Structure 1
Amino acid sequence: MKHPEIHEICKKHMYRYVSVTMTNGAVYDGIVENVDDDNLYLAVPIGGMDHEQMRAFLPYGGYPYPYYGYPYPGYGYGFGRRRFARQVLPLAGLLALSLLPYY
C-alpha cells in the first residue's frame, strides 16, 4: 500500500479497536488515538495488574503515604491503575490494519 492510502485507512478507523501488523512481523492491538503524516498512535491495553503487583511500586499496600488518608484525611483511595499505554508506530512500516471485536 502507498502512504496516502494507509493514512486514509487509519483515519477511517479512528477510535476503533484494531489489530495492526507491521512489515517486520510485529502485531499490535489497540485503539487508534491519532494519525499524523508519519505515525499511528495506538492506545494499547495493559494486562490486568492486581493489588499485589501494585505493592512492588507503591509502599504500604498501594498507598503512597505511611498511614491511611494522609495527607488528606478521609480520602485514602490511593492511585488508580493505568489501563492503556501509548504505542507510536511509523506509517511506513504498516502492513495491515483490521478491526477487532471489542469485549
Structure 2
Amino acid sequence: MQQQGHTQPSYEQCNKMKYYHVMVQTKDGRSFDGVITDVNHDKMTILVSEDVMLDEDGNAMDDQRQYGYGRRRARRFRRQVLPLAGLATLALFPYLANPYPYYYQYPYGYPYYY
C-alpha cells in the first residue's frame, strides 16, 4: 500500500491553475501568494501580491497613527519568474464555489401568486 504524500507541482498542475489565486511555496522555504499568468515547461510567471500602506496624499508611509482609522491599504502586484524545479507546493486559495447573489433560472420553481 502506497502512502500519499506531497509531490512537486508539475507543468500540467501549474497550467491547470493558470489565472487563479494560488499559494506557492519554494524548496528554500519562501512562500508567495499571487496569480499565475504564464507557464512554460521549465518556469512559471506569477504576479506576487504585496500590501502597501498609503497616507492621505497616496504616498507610502512607515510611521504610526495614534488616532483615527489609520492609513489606507492598497495592494500591489509584481511579476516574478519562478523555476518549476524549485517549487515545493502549489495550492489554490479557498474561495466559495457559488458567489453571492445566486440567481434562480427561469422558470422559477414556485409560482408567484398574490
TM class by shorter chain equals 0.5 to 0.7
Structure with higher Rg: it is 2
- Match runs of 1:69-84 below 5 Å: 83-84=76-77
Q: For residue 37 of structure 1, what is the aligned residue in structure 2?
A: 41
Does the aligned pair in 2 maintain the 1:6–1:91 contact within 8 Å? yes
- Residue 89 (str. 1) matches residue 82 (str. 2): yes
Q: Which amino acid aligns with 1:32?
A: I
Q: Indicate which of 19, 26, 34 corresponds to 1:22.
A: 26
> Do structure 1's residue 13 and structure 2's residue 17 form an aligned pair?
yes
Q: Which residue of 2 aligns with 1:100?
A: 93
Letter paired with 1:50: L
Alignment of 1:33-72 (within 5 A): 33-51=37-55, 55=59
Q: Provide the TM-score with structure 1 as the length reference.
A: 0.61
* TM-superposed deviation, 1:82: 7.9
Structure number having the greater helix percentage: 1
Q: When the two structures are aligned, how many residues end up with a matched partner?
A: 77
Structure 2 unaligned blocks of 5 or more: 1-6, 61-73, 96-114
TM-score when scaled to structure 2?
0.56
From the superposition, tell whether residues 10 and 55 of structure 1 become closer, same or farther in structure 2 (CA, over 3 Å).
same
Task: State the superposition RMSD in angstroms.
Answer: 2.6
Percentage of identical aligned residues: 41
The 1-side partners of 2:26 and 2:57 are apart by 31
Question: 2: CA distance between counterparts of 1:94 and 1:40?
Answer: 10
Structure with the higher fraction of residues in strand conformation: 2
